[in-house]
Amino acid sequence: MQNVLTKISGEAKFELLIFLALASIPLVFSGYILFILPQYMLFGLLAVSLSILWGLTGIISFGQAGFFAIGAYAIGIVVKSTFLMNSAILGILLGIIVSAVIAGVVGYFLFSAKVKATYFVLATLALSIIIEQLAKSQKEITGGWNGLFVDRISISFGDLLEYSLFNDIPMYYFTLLLTTIAYALIKFLTTSNFGKILRGIRENEDRILALGYNTSIYKTLIFCVSGALAGFAGSIYGTHAGFVDPSLARVLFSTEVIVWVAIGGRNSIIGSFLGGILVASLANYLNSITPEYWQLIIGIVFIAVVILFKGGLAGGLEEIYHRLKSKNYVSARNP
Amino acid sequence: MSLLEIHNLSKSFKGLLANDKICMELKLGEARCIIGPNGAGKTTLISMISGHLFQSSGIITFDGKNISNHDLVKRVRLGIGRKFQTPTLFDNLTVYENVELSVIRNNYSNFEKNAKIDETLKLIRLFDEKDVPANTLSHGQRQWLEIGLLIGNNVKLLLLDEPTAGMTTEETIATTKLINNLSGEKNLSIIVIEHDINFVRELGAQITVLHLGKIFAEGNYSTIENNKFVREIYLGAPDVVS
């Protein structure tokens, strides 16, 4: 028990450290990093949206990019077409709600029909392709192949105060704030009874069913939360990047999310979050120094991490930590 | 009043009659052993009661309700819990977390939850192992842990499929005590499928003998032991007609 307690608080301390570091970056650095890091934080959230499915519940989704694109298009379309005061907030909410509803409906039919994990993956893949095709074909709404320009939003509080996110530093802190809130909510969810039951589904679905839990409802709910989170990240991404196009919904992007999470550590929320940030930054950096080979290098890193640590970098670090602490440690967490 | 009533329950698999018009009653707090040679239909019968299989015909009544068409989850929530033939646990979670997963379905307060978990862990003699992952337990301990999951789940009827398989003699004795304690003090009804005839004798419960899907004999241990036909089909009497 003592071990478990120190481990939990250790992880929480680490998470606090990461968010404090993110908060202090604008005090130290300036320039491009302040522009690009919010985007990577949103990628981190996107990675978390997969980690609560894959790591926590044991379901893989190839459709996370689809939800991300829905969020981005939602804010783009709303900001463009309405003259409401709070069109930005409306856009973000719409991104969350549409993603959640689509995930909920798809999840409900697939899970209550007891579809196997493999077929679920294929269904999410198809979902992603459908979203991409819709984005391409509905030219009047989405701009088709050309995409959609999205203005940086302003958040207004009544008539008096308007907070523009046009500059990088306000955008940075706005994104960081929302990211932190979303992260904390997800963290709370994973430690709640709901999260424990999801872990039970991952470990042994037959047993959790035989304990009287309706697993299809739990799986539908977590898919819904995951879709909502991806849509949320996407909506902020839309206004941050200023541009949305159909490539956001591509299967290739969904696959990238899987790579981030596998490298970061699917069983760890903070590991996945950092996986999203670090692997996306690494990919960007490598792309600038060696445009021909960057994908190859990321591929090698991916394979190396998967072979060396089954639980990704987070799982590997945890294992090393426990090895150092006690030589009798039995790897329990990361099967 | 009977907790469980089974009336003319049959199950056929593509023409093969695995259970043929089984009738059975079980009172609150009663333990019952089901024995019979391989293929007698013991596990099929338990699966129909737990909701893992649906009957071809017949009626199951539990606690005064007709549950014949209830699905698995609904039956568990009424109080029917099942232990599988091979222990089915959350292998990578600790013993404590295993029991916790079964206890939290009851919407307890934190205090009640912890009390229930501790009580269950002590009952199944795994309190000292509570922080150990379930996959490091011995085979016998794993069987107990699975029984613990049913206790934590607050079931009224336990269906135990070969609870002593793979146990040492000491563990088997402890299991006998545990089952008697559960039916006697906790007033739970229990159906046990067993092959170990010593265990069946020690348990001292009423016995139902299944053979080719039918109830072949019923009674206490000495009645069954002295039944010539039971000896022939099950205990392996020397003078079996070839």
Query: Domain containing B32: what range?
Result: 2-235
Residues of B in contact with A193 (CB under 8 A): 104
Say if the Cβ atoms of A212 and B73 lie within 8 Å. yes
pLDDT computed for residue A125 by the predictor: 93
Name the band, by pLDDT with cuts 50, 70 and 90, for residue A82: low
A195 with A183: CB under 8 angstroms? no
Say if the Cβ atoms of B90 and A206 lie within 8 Å. no
Task: Give the rounded percent of residues in chain A with a pLDDT score beyond 70.
Answer: 90
Q: How far apart are CA A297 and CA A29, in angstroms?
A: 27
Phi, psi values for residue B142, rounded to 5°: -65, -40
Residues of A in contact with B100 (CB under 8 A): 196
Chain B residues within 8 angstroms (CB to CB) of chain A: 50, 52, 72-73, 76-77, 81-82, 84, 88-94, 97, 100-102, 104-105, 131, 133, 135-136, 149, 153
Residues in CB range of A281: below 8 A, 6 or more apart: A36, A40
pLDDT computed for residue A182 by the predictor: 97
Judge whether A151 lies within some domain.
yes
pLDDT computed for residue A335 by the predictor: 44
Take residue A38 and report the two structure tokens written for it. 């919010």
Q: How many domains does chain B divide into?
A: 1
Name the band, by pLDDT with cuts 50, 70 and 90, for residue A168: confident
- Give residue-wise pLDDT tens across range A276-325: 999 999 999 998 998 888 889 999 999 999 888 888 898 888 888 888 87
- Give residue-wise pLDDT tens across range B203-214: 989 999 998 888
B190 with B160: CB under 8 angstroms? yes
Name the band, by pLDDT with cuts 50, 70 and 90, for residue B107: confident
Residues of B in contact with A207 (CB under 8 A): 88-90, 149
pLDDT computed for residue B178 by the predictor: 93
Name the band, by pLDDT with cuts 50, 70 and 90, for residue A170: confident
Query: Domain containing A77: what range?
Result: 2-325
Take residue B11 and report the two structure tokens written for it. 């199950």
- Reported in sequence order, the residue ranges of A158-265 that DSSP labels E, i.e. its strands, are 161-164, 243-244
pLDDT computed for residue A123 by the predictor: 94
Say if the Cβ atoms of B101 and A211 lie within 8 Å. yes
Judge whether B240 lies within some domain.
no
Judge whether B118 lies within some domain.
yes
Beta-carbon neighbour count of residue A50 at 10 Å?
Answer: 29
Judge whether A230 lies within some domain.
yes
* Alpha-helix runs per DSSP H in B107-196: 110-123, 139-152, 169-184
Residues of B in contact with A3 (CB under 8 A): 131
| Closest A-chain CA to B52 | A210
Say if the Cβ atoms of A211 and B153 lie within 8 Å. yes
Residues of B in contact with A212 (CB under 8 A): 73, 76-77, 105, 153
Q: How many domains does chain A divide into?
A: 1
Closest-CA distance, B88 to chain A, in angstroms, reads: 6
pLDDT computed for residue A8 by the predictor: 58
Take residue B97 and report the two structure tokens written for it. 């977390």
ipTM above 0.90, yes or no: no
Residues of A in contact with B127 (CB under 8 A): none
pLDDT computed for residue A332 by the predictor: 47
**The domain spanning residue A48 has which CATH number?**
1.10.3470
* Pairing of the two strands B157-161 and B189-193: parallel
| Closest A-chain CA to B92 | A332
A75 with A153: CB under 8 angstroms? yes
Judge whether A330 lies within some domain.
no
Residues of A in contact with B73 (CB under 8 A): 209, 212-214
Judge whether B241 lies within some domain.
no
Judge whether B242 lies within some domain.
no
Residues in CB range of A280: below 8 A, 6 or more apart: A39, A40, A43, A256, A260
- pLDDT higher than 80, residue A86: no
Q: Give me the mean pLDDT over the A181-199 stretch.
A: 96
- Give residue-wise pLDDT tens across range B126-177: 999 999 999 999 988 999 999 999 999 999 999 999 998 888 889 999 999 9
Judge whether A334 lies within some domain.
no
- B213-231 residues labelled b (16+ CB within 10 A) or e (exposed): bbbbbeeebeebeebeebb
Name the band, by pLDDT with cuts 50, 70 and 90, for residue A162: low
Q: Give me the mean pLDDT over the A139-168 stretch.
A: 74
pLDDT computed for residue A1 by the predictor: 46
Closest-CA distance, B104 to chain A, in angstroms, reads: 7
Say if the Cβ atoms of A196 and B136 lie within 8 Å. no
Q: Mean pLDDT in chain B?
A: 90
Q: Give me the mean pLDDT over the A163-169 stretch.
A: 77
| Closest B-chain CA to A192 | B104
- pLDDT higher than 80, residue A2: no
Nearest Cβ partner of A330 from B97, B101, B133? Answer: B133
Closest-CA distance, B66 to chain A, in angstroms, reads: 18
- Give residue-wise pLDDT tens across range A248-277: 999 999 999 999 999 999 999 999 999 999
| Closest B-chain CA to A196 | B101
Nearest Cβ partner of A193 from B73, B91, B104? Answer: B104
